[in-house]
C-alpha cells in the first residue's frame, strides 16, 4: 500500500494514513487489505528491516524472478541427471531419541 499514491506512513501512530475513499478503492482491487484501515503496526520498523524492498546492486545480484528461474533450472538439471544415472534414490530417516517417561532420574535417592 505504501508504494501507492495517497498512502503514507505515520511513525508516531505506527499506521498507514490515507483518505477512507482511497482505502476503499484499494480494497476493491486488493481484498486482502480489508480490515487494515486504522490498524497500527507496532512492529513495522523491525519487520521492514527484514522484508523491505532494499536490494544490493552490483555483479551477481539476482532478484526474485532470477532466483526462481535459477532454482527451476537447478531442479531440471537434478532430475535429468537422476534419469541418466538410472539409480533409485534411497532416503534414510534420521534416528530419533526417545525418552523413557518412567526414568528414575526424577526420583529422590534414599538416604542411608
Q: What are phi and psi of 22, to 5 degrees?
A: -60, -45
Is 88 contained in some domain? no
What pLDDT is attached to residue 24?
Answer: 93
Residues of the chain with pLDDT under 70: 53-64, 77-112
pLDDT digit string, tens, across residues 37-54: 999 988 888 887 777 766
* Number of domains making up the chain: 1
Alpha-carbon distance of 14 to 4, in angstroms, equals 18
What pLDDT is attached to residue 21?
Answer: 93
pLDDT digit string, tens, across residues 84-95: 555 555 655 666
Is 80 contained in some domain? no
Is 3 contained in some domain? yes
Is 4 contained in some domain? yes
pTM of the model: 0.42
The residue count for the chain:
112
Is 68 contained in some domain? no
Is 91 contained in some domain? no
State which residues form the domain around 22. Answer: 1-54
Which CA distances in Å does 52 have to 14, 23, 26, 106? 16, 22, 21, 49
Amino acid at each position: 500500500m505504501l508504494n501507492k499514491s495517497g498512502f503514507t506512513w505515520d511513525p508516531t501512530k505506527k499506521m498507514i494514513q490515507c483518505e477512507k475513499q482511497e482505502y476503499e478503492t484499494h480494497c476493491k482491487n486488493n481484498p486482502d487489505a480489508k480490515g487494515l484501515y486504522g490498524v497500527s503496526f507496532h512492529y513495522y520498523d523491525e519487520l521492514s528491516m527484514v522484508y523491505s524492498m532494499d536490494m544490493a546492486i552490483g555483479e551477481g545480484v539476482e532478484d526474485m524472478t532470477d532466483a526462481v528461474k535459477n532454482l527451476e533450472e537447478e531442479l531440471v538439471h537434478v532430475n535429468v541427471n537422476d534419469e541418466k544415472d538410472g539409480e533409485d534414490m534411497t532416503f534414510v530417516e534420521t534416528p530419533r531419541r526417545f525418552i523413557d517417561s518412567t526414568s528414575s532420574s526424577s526420583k529422590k535417592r534414599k538416604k542411608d
